[in-house]
């Protein structure tokens, strides 16, 4: 990497991470991408891309080495509502490992700023039952009643980011994504979001055929 601001994007093989890498490159950053897989549909624009299993602490230390200024932690085991409601233990275990190891590795390696990608699944479910739901506010995540598994581990990781700021002065930021999909996003295989699955079914349907539609929450 050269003397430009150095950033790390984890989850750079995924939908949001892949697009974020392109945006950061356009803005003149030097970008390292890290993920357990390469992007599905086009090559990454990152200056360097490392295939790493970030559930392992030593790989998080590798990803954050070399004077990284900012880390955007988008790495996660996730998918559509069908996936995240059927794999509570696996998703929770994988993401808790990724997030805790990434925070500690970033702190140890002197990363200046850390962004954690959370989810709307952290919000209290009782506030989302009425079809005339009011716009959610940040504080509506408490009292806590998030989505089982995925939502709970995201809410815990948010708290962990706050602890790292309070205890170590490590500058962290949190964003909560809602239902995100678009060009170059996963559209089959079981981890796709409902809109992508719906569009795929419509595109592949025969004339006068029928498609199955299920609710994404």
The pLDDT tens digits for 185-200 are 666 666 666 676 777 7
55 and 97 Cβ atoms separated by less than 8 Å: yes
Mind telling me the catalytic residues? 150
135 domain-assigned:
yes
42 domain-assigned:
yes
> How many domains are there within the chain?
1
97 domain-assigned:
yes
CATH of the domain at 122: 3.40.50.720
28 domain-assigned:
yes
| 3-state secondary structure at position 73 | strand
55 domain-assigned:
yes
131 domain-assigned:
yes
123 domain-assigned:
yes
Q: What is the dihedral of CA 155, 143, 80, 38, to 10 degrees?
A: -10
154 domain-assigned:
yes
pTM across the whole model: 0.85
Percentage of the chain exceeding pLDDT 90: 65
- Average pLDDT of the residues in 68-94: 90
Strand partners, 48: 32
Please give the residue range of the domain that contains residue 55.
6-185
- Average pLDDT of the residues in 27-35: 97
């Amino acid at each position: 990497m050269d003397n430009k601001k150095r950033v790390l994007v984890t989850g750079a093989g995924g939908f949001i991470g892949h697009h974020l890498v392109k945006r950061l490159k356009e803005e003149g950053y030097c970008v390292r991408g890290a993920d357990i897989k390469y992007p599905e549909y086009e090559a990454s624009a990152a200056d360097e891309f490392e295939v790493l299993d970030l559930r392992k602490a030593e790989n998080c230390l590798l990803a954050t080495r070399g004077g990284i200024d900012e880390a955007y932690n988008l790495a996660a085991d996730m998918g559509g509502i069908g996936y995240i409601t059927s794999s509570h233990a696996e998703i929770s275990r994988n993401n808790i490992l990724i997030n805790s190891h990434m925070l500690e590795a970033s702190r140890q390696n002197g990363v200046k700023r850390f962004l954690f990608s959370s989810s709307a699944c952290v919000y209290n479910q009782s506030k989302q039952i009425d079809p005339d739901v009011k716009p959610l506010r940040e504080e509506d995540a408490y009292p806590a009643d998030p989505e089982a598994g995925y939502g709970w581990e995201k809410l815990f990781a948010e708290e962990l980011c706050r602890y790292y700021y309070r205890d170590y002065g490590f500058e962290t930021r949190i964003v909560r994504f809602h239902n995100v999909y678009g060009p170059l996003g996963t559209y089959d295989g079981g981890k796709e979001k409902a809109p992508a699955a719906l569009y795929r079914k419509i595109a592949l349907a025969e004339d006068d055929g029928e498609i199955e539609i299920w609710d994404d929450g």
